[in-house]
Amino acid sequence: MTTTAPAPAAAAGTKPASMAQALQRALRDALTEDPTVHVMGEDVGALGGVFRITDGLAADFGEERCTDTPLAEAGILGTAVGMAMYGLRPVVEMQFDAFAYPAFEQLISHVSRMRNRTRGAMPLPITIRVPYGGGIGGVEHHSDSSEAYYLATPGLHVVTPATVADAYGLLRQSIASDDPVVFLEPKRLYWSKDVWNPEAPSSVEELGRAAVRRAGRSATLITYGPSLPVCLEAAEAARAEGWDLEVVDLRSLVPFDDATVCASVRRTGRAVIVHEAAGFGGPGGEIAARVTERCFHHLEAPVLRVTGFDIPYPPPMLERHHLPGVDRILDAVARLQWEAES
Amino acid sequence: MTEHMTVMEQRAAHRPAPPPAWKLRTDPGPLLPEAEPRRVLGTPAAAKADPQLLRALYEQLVRGRRYNAQATALTKQGRLAVYPSSTGQEACEVAAALVLEEQDWLFPSYRDTLAAVARGLDPVQALSLLRGDWHTGYDPREHRIAPLSTPLATQLPHAVGLAHAARLRGDDTVALALVGDGGTSEGDFHEALNFAAVWQAPVVFLVQNNGFAISVPLHKQTAAPSLAHKAVGYGMPGRLVDGNDAVAVHQVLDEAVRHAREGGGPTLVEAVTYRLEAHTNADDATRYRDDEEVAAWRAHDPIVLLEKELTDRDLLDESGIQAARDAADAFAAGLRERMNQDAELDPMDLFRHIYAEQTQQLREQAAQLRAELEAEDER
């Protein structure tokens, strides 16, 4: 993670590792342990993917296990459906968030509902890796936060790591899942480093559990993926204002961990949701509604959202004005009706 | 040297070269379809056809025609939500089913319940989607019949992926995917054929060109010389066949399936046929085609063509014809009786198969529905 994150005490065998390394290790271990796992996508072979997440996999496991496909996202996901129907466990790479859209019909009309359609007879254990989010200076169509589209589709899991350890653990668990998982990789965290033990990487217990990344008493920042480091930085900065912020990392948007989120909000009485995706129709609206429905009598202030604007993703020279930053988060925290307390 | 290399190896060996050295990657000649749809019935080739196959095709055609009529009647009686009839296209439906081995997979579209039934699937299970009691009424793996696909051509990449997976596992499974002329305009048709050819997947695509995509005729759908010609662009053979000649369709599909099973890769087959009924019971075909055209196709009926061959060769007499009709009537009566019983429904099924494990949110919603049902029962 970023330097602002509280670094865990270094244990034996631990060293700084990047999220990209952890993801690659997760794919490598899954390929090693389960012969039905197949990695496929554009440029995942000799090149190792445009982000190098699949680096070396084709060389080590062969082109049949790590396959360069034709450049066609619907075809990639559609053939993965057929492979899963025959008992394989495909891990599909979509090159960029906005390049995944051609695959939406396969995703929505088939991947998400095959289990239901067949009364459980034909589950589709497909993991769809999608690099997402901005902050990397990408030109148009390279920085979308497309999670709202996915989480509005019943039958999919929607998972996103924010730490190096989670990148490994959540990806392993996603590949092991018998359900389709949209695995959103925050691409601006690919090169962020954290202390991690690559000798003994561990999976997560189950999908659908949020994690409290920073304990606090004043208010809860609810976030995920690329916005976690920003929220942790904001929480540190908030100490100067006398606010002790709790930070919840959702890790999974579907299933949604109401229990962890609500327990935190009931403790603090205030909540701000932070994400890069546009606010209107974005995950924050759903989360705010859930928190309000479940924690209304514990709330000292309306649940607020700090999100991307309701605009197409900006050109790179303007993206800093769009992305939720520390100041915008602190401004929101300041509006949580503190005066009513005194 | 290249003649000893597989198609995949030939392609892998190819490297782009600047213009003076440029050459075609493969010879398109053998990929080109026939100049006219292949016919067997009414030609000297028919004499070579296996009598047992002819009889099997005939019995299935007669039963298939009766099945279509029964399903249409059930729709008028409100027992089916909708029925897209394959009347007139039975030769394609039946041949597609009969050409497959036990381990092979069939990928039908919503108009292809007859192919599934001809393969041996219980018609009540096949009609689940159209009855509306569930989406897929059977276990696809048990029957090796993929769910009936409603979004056009989206099942084609599934067939490619499944065939590819089978080959990776060393199985000799072939996938046969059905699609209509309208479906060939979809992007998934293109992507499926492209993937299939690149991977040399053991898959056969059967396009039933029945002349119309609901109301839109073929000339508004494509400018290709034929739909079979599209194969050449992907680097696979295209085959053109008279879709009302059951023996010819069976022959062409059989060749394609063998070719795929032997590692030769995919084939695109265009069967030229005609949808004698409207698109569905909800459609009015008189708005877009005239009776004369329909009458011309009725004269080229797949059952009549095959019946003539069988009777001309003394393989079938009046009693044989009557026996086939009686068997078809009995089949239809059984279907009618079962479909006239109310479907078994459990509203709680709505929540059972969304995920491997129900989420907390779905548990809560299921509890809500259960409470509503209990309250209904008490009233």
Q: Identify the CATH number of the domain in which residue B242 sits.
A: 3.40.50.970
Whole-angstrom CA distances from B349 to A151, B2, B358, B366 are: 22, 57, 12, 9
Structure token pair of residue B108: 């039908």
What domains are defined for chain A?
Answer: 15-196 (3.40.50.970), 211-340 (3.40.50.920)
B331 and B371 together in one domain = no
pLDDT(A11) > 90? no
| B33 Cα to chain A: minimum distance (Å) | 25
Q: Which of A75, A88, A254 sits opposite B194 (nearest CB)?
A: A75
Chain B residues in contact with A74 (beta carbon < 8 A): 157, 187-188, 191
Classified as helix, coil or strand, B214 is coil
CA proximity to B48, closest of B40, B56, B59, B57: B40
Domain assignment present for residue B25? The answer is no
Domain assignment present for residue B20? The answer is no
Supply the pLDDT for residue B8.
Answer: 79
B87 and B38 together in one domain = yes
What is the per-residue burial (b if ≥16 Cβ within 10 Å, else e) of A160-197?
Answer: bbbbbbbbbbbbbbbbbbebbbbbbbbbbbbebbbbbe
pLDDT(A216) > 60? yes
Structure token pair of residue B70: 């029964």
> Considering chain B, what is the average pLDDT of its residues?
95
Beta bridge partners of A93: A41, A129
Please count the structural domains in chain B: 2
Domain assignment present for residue B219? The answer is yes
Domain assignment present for residue B167? The answer is yes
Number of A–B residue contacts, CB under 8 Å:
141
Chain B residues in contact with A87 (beta carbon < 8 A): 165, 169
- Which single residue is written with the structure tokens 């480091």? A229
Q: Which of B151, B162, B198 sits opposite A86 (nearest CB)?
A: B162
Q: For residue B145, which phi and psi values (nearest 5 degrees)?
A: -125, 115
B307 and B250 together in one domain = yes
Chain A residues in contact with B192 (beta carbon < 8 A): 75, 78-79
Alpha-carbon span A60 to A232, nearest angstrom: 38
Are residues A72 and B194, on separate chains, in Cβ contact within 8 Å? yes
B77 and B175 together in one domain = yes
A256 interfacial to chain B (CB closer than 8 Å): yes
Cα-atom radius of gyration of chain B, to the nearest Å?
23
B103 and B57 together in one domain = yes
DSSP letter at A227 equals G
B373 and B305 together in one domain = no
- Mean pLDDT, rounded, for B51-58: 97
Domain assignment present for residue B11? The answer is no
pLDDT digits (tens, 9 = 90+) for A73-96: 999 999 999 999 999 999 999 999
Are residues A117 and B161, on separate chains, in Cβ contact within 8 Å? no
B367 and B294 together in one domain = no
Supply the pLDDT for residue B232.
Answer: 97
pLDDT digits (tens, 9 = 90+) for A40-86: 999 999 999 999 999 999 999 999 999 999 999 999 999 999 999 99
pLDDT(A17) > 50? yes
Classified as helix, coil or strand, A304 is strand
Chain A residues in contact with B191 (beta carbon < 8 A): 70, 72, 74-75, 78
Which amino acids of A are annotated catalytic?
A: 142
Domain assignment present for residue B17? The answer is no
What is the per-residue burial (b if ≥16 Cβ within 10 Å, else e) of B349-367?
Answer: eebebbbeebbeebeeebe
Range of weakest confidence among A15-29, A196-210, A306-320, B52-66: A196-210
Supply the pLDDT for residue B9.
Answer: 81
Chain B residues within 8 angstroms (CB to CB) of chain A:
134-136, 139-142, 146-147, 151, 154, 156-166, 168-169, 173, 175, 187-188, 191-192, 194-195, 198, 349, 352-356, 359-361
Supply the pLDDT for residue A15.
Answer: 83
Mutation target to probe the A interface, by most A beta carbons within 10 A, among B149, B353, B364 is B353
- Mean pLDDT, rounded, for B151-168: 98
Q: Which residue blocks in A140-281 are alpha helix, DSSP H?
A: 147-151, 164-176, 228-238, 258-268
pLDDT digits (tens, 9 = 90+) for B228-259: 999 999 999 999 999 999 999 999 999 999 99
B372 and B231 together in one domain = no
Supply the pLDDT for residue A204.
Answer: 81
Supply the pLDDT for residue A13.
Answer: 65
Supply the pLDDT for residue A303.
Answer: 98
Share above pLDDT 70 across residues of chain A, in percent, rounded to a whole number:
95
Q: Domain range spanning residue B369? A: 349-378
Chain B residues in contact with A152 (beta carbon < 8 A): none
B284 and B359 together in one domain = no
Are residues B166 and A86, on separate chains, in Cβ contact within 8 Å? yes
Share above pLDDT 90 across residues of chain A, in percent, rounded to a whole number:
90
pLDDT band at B1 (very low <50, low <70, confident <90, very high): very low
- Mean pLDDT, rounded, for B5-13: 79
Which amino acids of B are annotated catalytic?
A: 275, 279, 288
Alpha-carbon span B150 to B337, nearest angstrom: 27
Alpha-carbon span A208 to B338, nearest angstrom: 44
Q: Residues near A78 by Cβ (< 8 Å), separated by ≥ 6?
A: A103, A106, A110, B154, B156, B157, B158, B160, B161, B188, B191, B192
pLDDT digits (tens, 9 = 90+) for A130-184: 999 999 999 999 999 999 999 999 999 999 999 999 999 999 999 999 999 999 9
- Mean pLDDT, rounded, for B209-216: 94
Reported pTM: 0.95
B207 and B183 together in one domain = yes
B44 and B178 together in one domain = yes
Residue of B nearest to A72 (CA): B191
Range of weakest confidence among B11-20, B78-87, B275-284, B322-331: B11-20
pLDDT band at A260 (very low <50, low <70, confident <90, very high): very high
pLDDT band at A6 (very low <50, low <70, confident <90, very high): very low
B309 and B361 together in one domain = no
Domain assignment present for residue B189? The answer is yes
pLDDT band at A5 (very low <50, low <70, confident <90, very high): very low
